Amino acid sequence: MRINQLSALDVRRAKFTGKPYKLFDGGGLALRVRASGNAWLFRFKRDGKSRETTLGKCPPMTLADARRRRDEFRALLADGIDPIEHRRQQADTAKAEKESSGNTLEHVIREWMGTQQWSAGYRETVTQRLNRYVFPRLGSRPITEITAPEILAVLRKAEEAGKIEVAPRCRQYISAAYKFAIASEWADHDPAAGLAPALKKPPPTKHRAAVLDPDRLGEVLRAIDAHGGQPQVKAALQLLPMLMVRPGELRGMEWAEVDLDAALWSIPGSKMKMRQDHLVPLPRRAVEILRDLHHWTGHRRLAFPGLRSAQKPISENTLNASFRRMGFSKDEITAHGFRATARTMLAERLRWPAHVIELQLAHAPRDPLGRAYNRADFLDDRRQMLEEWADYLDRLRKPGDE
């Protein structure tokens, strides 16, 4: 029978006096006393070899706690289990569970999104899709436990909701996040990688409505000039056909980006779809419109502040709603469609070369050697092209004069 040799009083009185020592309690339990602090030890034999392991510091571990832990270890030994290896396995399991619980799909996707240089609008779109279809069903699950059929089931929900084009996008987001996790050593495979063939094919892209007939475009331009809305709305409607920028880029214009004396608008890459800085030469007519607008909004950060909040720009819906009030249907005109109008007419009517047009559209054409142009390439040509385009639009405003 094992005899306990220590008392609680012995433990409290155990002080370091200049030389380390041990107080033995029996059954392999001992209290080690040294300058760095007291600790409980358990000594045992396994496979004929003496071994020792620390049970815990004293305090906080009491004598009673140390005896319970010693008895647990002795029970393991009686079952043929090495208590040191058992404790290491428990620690590894706890660590894996902690890492797994931290690396949920939502956590990993958000970490991956933090590495992407997206525009604010696109980031909002991605977040809305994930919040709607992915996170509610799989967001809280550890990424190492999620299977391909589970991801496919989530994507099917988007398809069933009629969002055929959203399902493959969500698959791409999930797959990209898994690749990020693999690179970070949080996962070892991508269960979404092979799911693309199992998804429905999105319908062919429906191009945004654009006016390509010169006479009809002239009618649109005259209707814009007669528009009686807010100054920033009318100015935006007048500049859209002229500058070849995306509606979101125009709406987000800040006065600090515009040099009216140099007739140049410098759009930072953070606002551009391709994440590259973009230069927009301003035709004389555009400078006139912006100078007039400056009287109204020049004291604001945004050139086209919203009607409800000056901290946000007017919305694309505001622009499209203006066209509806003018009598143009959404099948005929959208704010984004003027880019297609400019691209087509500059090539077919004014005979401008494609690479100059594409550069001004902030696309990424290549030179004959396959090299990408930079934002300043052909700037003089682009300035001349936009000036000619503005003059052409002015001619279209006169009935019967192309």
Q: Is 363 a catalytic residue?
A: yes
pLDDT surpassing 90 at residue 392: yes
Q: Which of 51, 363, 375, 397 is catalytic?
A: 363
- Is 246 noted as a catalytic residue in this protein? yes
Tell me which of 337 and 402 has the higher pLDDT.
337
Among 325, 322, 316, 335, residue whose Cα is nearest residue 211 = 335
> 3-state secondary structure string, the chain?
CCCCCCCHHHHHHCCCCCCCEEEEEECCEEEEECCCCEEEEEEEEECCEEEEEEEEEECCCCHHHHHHHHHHHHHHHHCCCCHHHHHHHHHHHHHHHHHHHHCEHHHHHHHHHCCCCCCHHHHHHHHHHHHHHHHHHHCCCECCCCCHHHHHHHHHHHHHCCCCCHHHHHHHHHHHHHHHHHHCCCCCCCCCCCCHHHCCCCCCCCCCCCCCCHHHHHHHHHHHHCCCCCHHHHHHHHHHHHHCCCHHHHHCCEHHHEECCCCEEEECHHHCCCCCCEEEECCHHHHHHHHHHHHHHCCCCECCECCCCCCCECCHHHHHHHHHHHCCCCCCCCHHHHHHHHHHHHHHCCCCCHHHHHHHCCCCCECCCCCECCCCCCHHHHHHHHHHHHHHHHHHCCCCCC
Residue 99 pLDDT > 70: no
292 and 388: one domain?
Answer: yes
pLDDT at 400: 58
- Boundary of a domain, candidates 99, 119, 143: 99
What mean pLDDT comes out for the span 34-58?
87
pLDDT at residue number 81: 84
Task: Calculate what percentage of the chain has a pLDDT beyond 90.
Answer: 50
The residue annotated as part of the active site, out of 32, 339, 343, 383, is 339
> In the structure, what pLDDT confidence band is assigned to residue 378 with cuts at 50, 70 and 90?
confident
Residue 37 and residue 56 in one domain: yes
| pLDDT tens digits, 265-324 | 999 988 887 778 899 999 999 999 999 999 999 999 999 999 888 899 999 899 999 999
Mean pLDDT of 117-141: 87
Q: Is residue 402 part of a domain?
A: no
* Residues in contact with 147: Cβ distance below 8 Å, sequence separation at least 6, in sequence order: 191
190 plus 257 within the same structural domain: no
For the chain, the domain total comes to 3
pLDDT (average), residues 244-268? 95
pLDDT band at 27; cut points 50, 70, 90:
confident
- Host domain of residue 111: 105-198
Same structural domain, 70 and 117: no
The pLDDT of residue 84 is above 90: no
**pLDDT(101) > 60:** no
For residue 2, is it within any domain? no
pLDDT in tens, 192-229: 999 999 998 876 655 567 888 999 999 999 999 998 88
- Domain annotation covers residue 1: no
Cβ atoms < 10 Å from Cβ of 319: 22
> Per the domain annotation, does 364 fall within a domain?
yes
Q: 240 and 155, same structural domain?
A: no
Tell me whether residue 227 is one of the annotated catalytic residues: no
Amino acid letter for position 322: S
pLDDT of res. 168: 93
Torsion of CA 391, 396, 400, 402, to 10 degrees: 50
Q: Which of the residues 349, 373, 375, 397 is marked catalytic?
A: 373
To which residue do tokens 């290491």 refer? 88
Q: How far is CA 43 from CA 19, 68, 73, 88, 213, in A?
A: 21, 15, 10, 17, 93
| Annotated catalytic residue within 336, 343, 382, 383 | 336
Q: Label residue 245 by pLDDT band (50, 70, 90).
A: very high
Backbone angles phi, psi at 63, to 5 degrees: -60, -45
127-149 mean pLDDT? 93
pLDDT above 80 (res 52): yes
How far apart, in whole angstroms, are the C-alpha atoms of residue 382 and residue 388? 10
The reply to whether 298 and 376 lie within a common domain is: yes
Averaged pLDDT of the chain? 87
Which of 148, 173, 198 is the last residue in one of the domains? 198
Would 206 be classed as within a structural domain?
Answer: no
Last residue of a domain, one of 69, 99, 129: 99
Q: For residue 3, tell me if it sits in a domain.
A: no
The CATH number of residue 33's host domain is 3.30.160.390
Least confident of 17-26, 133-142, 143-152, 364-373: 364-373
More confident residue, 329 or 275: 329
Same domain, 369 and 220: yes
CA gap 229, 242 in Å, rounded: 19
Do 125 and 261 have their domain in common?
Answer: no
- The more confidently predicted of residues 153 and 307 is 153
In a domain, 205, yes or no: no
What's the pLDDT at 205?
A: 52
200 catalytically annotated = no
Residues 224 and 76 reside in one and the same domain:
no
Q: What is the pLDDT of residue 267?
A: 93
Query: Which CATH number belongs to the domain containing residue 110 in this structure?
Result: 1.10.150.130
Residues 312 and 191 in one domain: no
Q: Supply the pLDDT for residue 295.
A: 95
Select which of 222, 273, 285, 355 is catalytic: 273
* Domain presence at residue 84: yes
Both 27 and 87 in one domain: the answer is yes
pLDDT attached to residue 229: 82
- Catalytic site includes residue 278: no
Catalytic residue among 246, 271, 278, 383: 246
Region 370-397 average pLDDT: 85
Confidence of residue 1 (pLDDT cuts 50, 70, 90): very low
- Regarding whether 356 and 224 lie in a shared domain, the answer is yes
